[in-house]
Structure 1
Amino acid sequence: MLRPRWTLHAEALFWRTLMGAGMTLHRMAPPVPPVPTFTRTIPSTLSPTRGAIPIVFYTPPSYATRNPAHKYPLLINFHGGGFTLGRATDDCRWAAAVVEQVGAVVASVDYRLAPEHPFPTAVEDGADAILHLLSNAGELGLDARRVGVSGFSAGGNMAFTTILRYEAALRAGARERCGQLRVVVAWYPSTDFTSSRELRRGTNTRPDKELPRLFTELFDASYLYPPKDVSMDDPYLSPGVAGGELLGVLPDEVLLWTCEWDELAAEGERFRVRLGEVGKRVGGRVVGGTAHAWDKSPNPVAGDAVRDEVYKEACGELRRVFGL
């Protein structure tokens, strides 16, 4: 039986408030991450439901006085939260690492959330952000030939699906190709909704570390509402079961980090194999001894040595891909 949309909305607002408090604590731990340099809001064009899409930018110190001839690599990022919670600033520590260690600009997208905006609005907003950023790369001082897409959890799903939607928009003639997507960086992504939550939970070797059911039930009911209208094997929802020809449009380089104690790890590792089969170079690894969203600890007094190590590893790979 479908839950009334107003109950989903009320529950989402409650957890958004609590998650916001938790992310405030997350940002308080030393070293304190930077605040966004600036924000740009763009109109949605691909979704039939029109709206605004804020994009927050994190830039290197030299960006404010940049030489017009110098172009910065770009990483477009999508936050997590089950397509229902979260903000673009949640990944501020990842953005800080990329800015400092890669010298790239990070553009983090505040895509519209469910249940107010169910599937596929988030994917359409993400594709709109890619289209806008590549089309306006020159104005923004960005190198459109060195662009990557990253995301965490639901955002890790979007790191793949927004590219599929972006490529579809190009094929439909909505835009001209204005740049090159070089790499996907996906952190503990959801990739296969054809597997039920029960099957996913059954793959976790540490059930005590799994995502609470109250969250996953909220996420699925919100994003997939009404369920009868959503096919679970839709490639914009489940890239892990997409056809090889469709996956071929993804960048040649994929960096994928999964968590040992995560119900999404098994599908992520299946997708790693699948991507290799269609000719992608797949890096990253399983991060041992970690649960889902392990890098978003709300501890306000302590850093995270594992997070810093793995982020450094990812940034080294980005430098290689971007030829730095």
Structure 2
Amino acid sequence: MNDATPACWDLLDDQAATVAGMIGQILQKPLRELGPEQARALVDSTPSTDPITPLDHVGQLTVPTRSGTIAARLYRADGTSPDGAAPALVYLHGGGFVLGTLDGADELCRAIAAGSGWTVVSLDYRLSPENPYPAALEDCLDAYAWLIRSAPDLGIDPDRVAVGGDSAGGNLAAALCLHRREEGSALPVAQVLAYPAVDDRFTRASWSDFADAPLLGAADAQWFWEQYVGAGHPGGDPLAAPMRARSLRDLPPALVVTAEVDPIRDDAEAYAQRLRAEGVEVSSTRYTGVFHGFFTEVGVFAQTKAAIDEVCVYLRALA
């Protein structure tokens, strides 16, 4: 590390520090200065022709929503009969509500399906700022409801469906659970939240301690939030920022994964602590030496494999 390197980078392990340096070479400007189109061109993943985790069945879906349709991708674990009734995880990719694609979450979804035996359904919700809040949440709510209705046709058990996501996707997963609780609908059997963006106040210590973290600094994270809700949004809406909910009681059990060097870390861990305090069964793990975004980097970090293994063990215990 040189004198220009932020102090928080000293917490990264060797592999994470190397990757952080590579990201710095690719992103010559902060994401907020690149803007949505250029950031997508630099960051979003392209399809893999040789996946790390091959599966016999990966299928494309078109899911109806109140605003039209969205794309989805279904991953069926090898040895699972399409005529059976497998448990399923609805997965919502990250990307600050602005970035992210089905391809970017592809390796992760493959690994979870293979390791857990669960079917994984990955959703390609609409992105901001072109489609601001609540568009992405509405897509996820509608797609989840459709999946429950269509479960028998998809070889899925409608009584064993969980929801999960990373970063912005973790926000959407948590908000989906809150919305379904409020409307009295059947809840997911669990929520799997990887460094979820759950608060809109940006005041906990990690926002200053890791303001210059790799990939996602504090200023970029707040810029993403403004793209999602709009610069003039008054704040305090629990379906936009789940930590604002008056109560977290009666929500599904949760597995919360965080990264040590991440401005969002303390918000996500506070959400886990509040869930636990309000009677929700919670398992929470902080992965040291890595930064925001590590969970989807299959084959890059040892911590990624450990976190995916933790998710798979957690899901298998639910089945």
> Is TM-score (shorter-chain normalized) higher than 0.5?
yes
3-state DSSP of counterpart to 2:127: coil
CA distance in 1, matches of 2:189, 2:216: 32
Give 1:117's aligned residue.
131
* Count of aligned residue pairs for this structure pair: 287
Distance change in 2, residues 1:127/1:35 (3 Å): farther
User: Which structure 1 residue ranges, 5 or more long, are not aligned?
Assistant: 1-7, 172-176
Distance change in 2, residues 1:254/1:213 (3 Å): closer
Deviations, residues 195-243 of structure 1 (Å, cap 9, x unaligned)? 36x9752143x73436246743541332122x33x33211111111311
Distance change in 2, residues 1:15/1:34 (3 Å): farther
Give 2:201's aligned residue.
194
Does the aligned pair in 2 maintain the 1:160–1:250 contact within 8 Å? Answer: no
CA distance in 2, matches of 1:116, 1:39: 24
Give 1:60's aligned residue.
77
Does the aligned pair in 2 maintain the 1:33–1:92 contact within 8 Å? Answer: no
> Aligned-pair RMSD on alpha carbons?
2.7
CA distance in 1, matches of 2:171, 2:251: 13
Deviations, residues 160-185 of structure 1 (Å, cap 9, x unaligned)? 002223344x44xxxxx5x6511100
CA distance in 1, matches of 2:275, 2:227: 29
Provide TM-score, normalisation by structure 2: 0.81
Distance change in 2, residues 1:42/1:320 (3 Å): same
Selected match of 1:134 from 148, 159, 166: 148
Amino acid at match of 2:307: V
Matches within 5 A, 1:32-111: 37-45=58-66, 50-63=67-80, 66=82, 68=83, 70-111=84-125
Selected match of 1:239 from 238, 242, 246: 242
Does the aligned pair in 1 maintain the 2:272–2:284 contact within 8 Å? Answer: no
Selected match of 2:308 from 297, 301, 311: 311
Distance change in 2, residues 1:215/1:202 (3 Å): closer
CA distance in 2, matches of 1:151, 1:201: 21
Distance change in 2, residues 1:200/1:219 (3 Å): same
Does the aligned pair in 1 maintain the 2:108–2:297 contact within 8 Å? Answer: no
Give 2:214's aligned residue.
209
Distance change in 2, residues 1:100/1:17 (3 Å): same
Does the aligned pair in 1 maintain the 2:64–2:143 contact within 8 Å? Answer: no
Please state which structure has a larger fraction of its residues in helix.
Answer: 1
How far residue 102 of structure 1 moved from its aligned partner, in angstroms, is: 1.5
3-state DSSP of counterpart to 2:105: helix
Does the aligned pair in 2 maintain the 1:30–1:303 contact within 8 Å? Answer: no
Aligned-pair identity in percent equals 29
Runs of 4+ in 1 over 4 A off after TM superposition: 27-30, 32-36
Distance change in 2, residues 1:275/1:126 (3 Å): same
